[in-house]
Structure 1
Amino acid sequence: MKLHFSGALPKICSPGVVAANCRGPQRDGKMMPLNPFEAEASGTFHVLVNSEDQYSLWPSWVEIPSGWKSVAEGSRGDCLAHIESRWTDMRPAALANAQNG
Structure 2
Amino acid sequence: MIDQGTTICCIEVIDMTKPAPSQQSANSGLNGTMEPIWRVVRNHQGCYSVWRCDRSIPAGWAAISEAQDRPSCLAAIDQIWRDPRPENLKHHQRQFPSPHR
| Fold agreement, TM-score > 0.5 | yes
Aligned residues: 69
Go from structure 1 to structure 2 and tell me whether the alpha carbon gap of 1:41 and 1:85 turns closer, same or farther (over 3 Å shift): farther
1:3 aligned onto 2:21: yes
1:72 aligned onto 2:72: no
How well do the aligned residues superpose, as a CA RMSD in angstroms?
A: 2.5
Tell me the equivalent position of 2:84.
90
Contact 1:48-1:69 within 8 A present in 2 as well: yes
Contact 1:41-1:76 within 8 A present in 2 as well: no
Identity of aligned residues (%): 32
Q: Deviations over 1:45-68 (max 9, x none)?
A: 110000000001001001101110
Go from structure 1 to structure 2 and tell me whether the alpha carbon gap of 1:84 and 1:67 turns closer, same or farther (over 3 Å shift): same
Is the partner of 1:72 in helix, strand or coil?
A: coil
Cα deviation, residue 41, structure 1: 8.1
Cα deviation, residue 88, structure 1: 1.4
Tell me the equivalent position of 1:27.
24
Letter aligned with residue 55 of structure 1:
Y
Gaps of 5+ in 1: 5-25, 29-39
Higher RCO (C-alpha 8 Å, min separation 6): 2
Tell me the equivalent position of 2:47.
54
Letter aligned with residue 85 of structure 1:
Q
Instruction: Give the structure with the higher percent strand.
Output: 1
Tell me the equivalent position of 2:12.
none
Go from structure 1 to structure 2 and tell me whether the alpha carbon gap of 1:53 and 1:69 turns closer, same or farther (over 3 Å shift): same
Scaled by the length of structure 2, the TM-score of the pair is: 0.58
Gaps of 5+ in 2: 1-18, 26-32, 96-101
